[in-house]
A = this chain, B = another copy of it.
Amino acid sequence: MTSSSFSHPDFSAPPLAAAPDASFVPAPADGVLPDGFFSTTNLPTYVRVGGAWRLPQQPRMDSALVLDTRGELWVREGRRVSAGDLVAVGAREDGSEGILVHADAFTATDDEGDEFAFMSSEVSREKPIDYAQMARLLIGERDRGGYPVWVAGPALVHSRARADMVWFVRNGFVKALLAGNAVAVHDIEASIFGTTLGMTGAGRASRGGHGLHMRAINAVRRAGSIRAAVERGIVTDGIMHACVEAGVPYVLCGSIRDDGPLPEVITDMLAAQDAMRAHAVQATMAILVATALHAIATGNMLPSFVRDADGMLRELPTICVDSSEFVVSKLKDRGTRQAFGVVTNAQDFMQILRLYVERELHVRELEPRGAHAATSGAGR
């Protein structure tokens, strides 16, 4: 989330000018890649086909480059490749085999560091958090018709953070919500019984509370779906209710930890990944809150960049919130380098982010038209 400039590589100069086309080899069987397949990263990657360097569709890491029969270039998971599909092979990322990974695409330009700097580790609870910048980014995405994807863990449902998430859904800041069964269960338990895992909003255990999440699940299973439970007035508030009412799509992915599960939960993991990725490929911003499993799963699917209408690339704003440095560091270690880590309590994060968004919106109402575009641009 630092200022950076972008330019495409200069393909007209050596050595890239003399590079060959990438080599493609047919997949030997359904879901099996040819030996020596090129394994993708989430960085901008150019592939030389018919003399032209092209950016493939739907970039993500840990996948294959597939050239379809219409000459279109895709990044596709190995399991989705069919026998005979043409798959790029090669080991070099420098263009000399027709594939170029643009690793330094978004190198920050304002580095002022010296050799012996404190606090150089990237993720730390002691780093200041620029909520104002995050608020401007989020408003900017909404206002330009971007596609902010939220990925949430159960801590988001506890107490006040739930109301804040509802606010973000209702006010157009969420284009898709990716979560697991537990998020929806806790949210719906809160709506029906006023508890989460049998614990009241004040953090006290309630009598018989340990079974309440099972009763909430059962009520929705009886209704047939979350939408039906909302429509019949069984679920009357909360995050799922807001998504149904606002028409915000959600993907609830199953896990072996699930109780129930709720009816809409996708229990097959490959189907669930496909459903998540349908949103990931559209993402122009990602906010990952309080979940290791879903955050890393989403990180695996996200490119590190967004391709704007003018063909230019910019870093995909990715915010990862967790109570410990561990999850954020792990996300980065798994390759999602662009993630900006916020080490804090999810409930507090949501409350402050909302506050800053509300403040910024209020300021903009008071400003003359167009003024904020100039001032807020600096933050991007």
Chain A contact residues, CB within 8 Å of chain B: 2, 28-29, 31-33, 37-39, 41, 43, 61-62, 78-79, 91, 93, 101, 103, 110, 112-130, 154-155, 158-160, 197-199, 201-211, 213-215, 217-218, 221-222, 253-261, 267-270, 272-273, 276, 292-294, 296-297, 300, 323-326, 329, 332-335, 342-345, 347-349, 351-352, 355
Contact = CB atoms under 8 A, between A and B. Distances in A.
Contacts of A255: 255-256, 269, 293, 297
29 contacts: A38-B211, A39-B211, A78-B217, A79-B221, A79-B261, A101-B115, A101-B116, A103-B116, A112-B205, A114-B205, A116-B335, A118-B197, A118-B333, A119-B199, A119-B333, A121-B332, A127-B158, A129-B347, A130-B202, A210-B335, A255-B297, A256-B269, A256-B272, A257-B297, A258-B273, A261-B269, A325-B329, A345-B348, A348-B352
Given A119-B199, A344-B345, A349-B348, A62 B214 contact: yes
Nearest to A263: B31
Given A32-B221, A209-B117, A211-B39, A127 B203 contact: yes
A222 B36 CA distance: 13
B272 A218 contact: no
A205 B355 CA distance: 28
Given A214-B62, A293-B255, A125 B273 contact: no
A256 B273 contact: yes
A269 B276 CA distance: 16
* Secondary structure type dominating chain A contacts: loop
A252 B79 CA distance: 17
A222 B112 contact: no
Contact of A118 (B2, B202, B205): B205
B205 A113 contact: yes
A160 to B, nearest CB: 7
Contacts of A198: 117-119
Contact of A210 (B31, B78, B116, B210): B116
Contacts of A270: 254, 261, 267
Contact of A125 (B122, B222, B323): B323
A128 B31 contact: no
B344 A348 contact: yes
A174 B164 CA distance: 30
B205 A39 contact: no
Contact of A114 (B93, B342, B343): B93
A39 B62 CA distance: 43
A73 to B, nearest CB: 18
A205 to B, nearest CB: 4
Given A31-B221, A39-B214, 15 more contacts: A32-B221, A32-B222, A33-B218, A38-B211, A39-B211, A41-B210, A62-B259, A101-B116, A103-B116, A119-B197, A125-B326, A128-B159, A130-B202, A343-B345, A344-B344
Contacts of A201: 128
Nearest to A212: B39
A170 to B, nearest CB: 21
Nearest to A42: B116
A316 B238 CA distance: 36
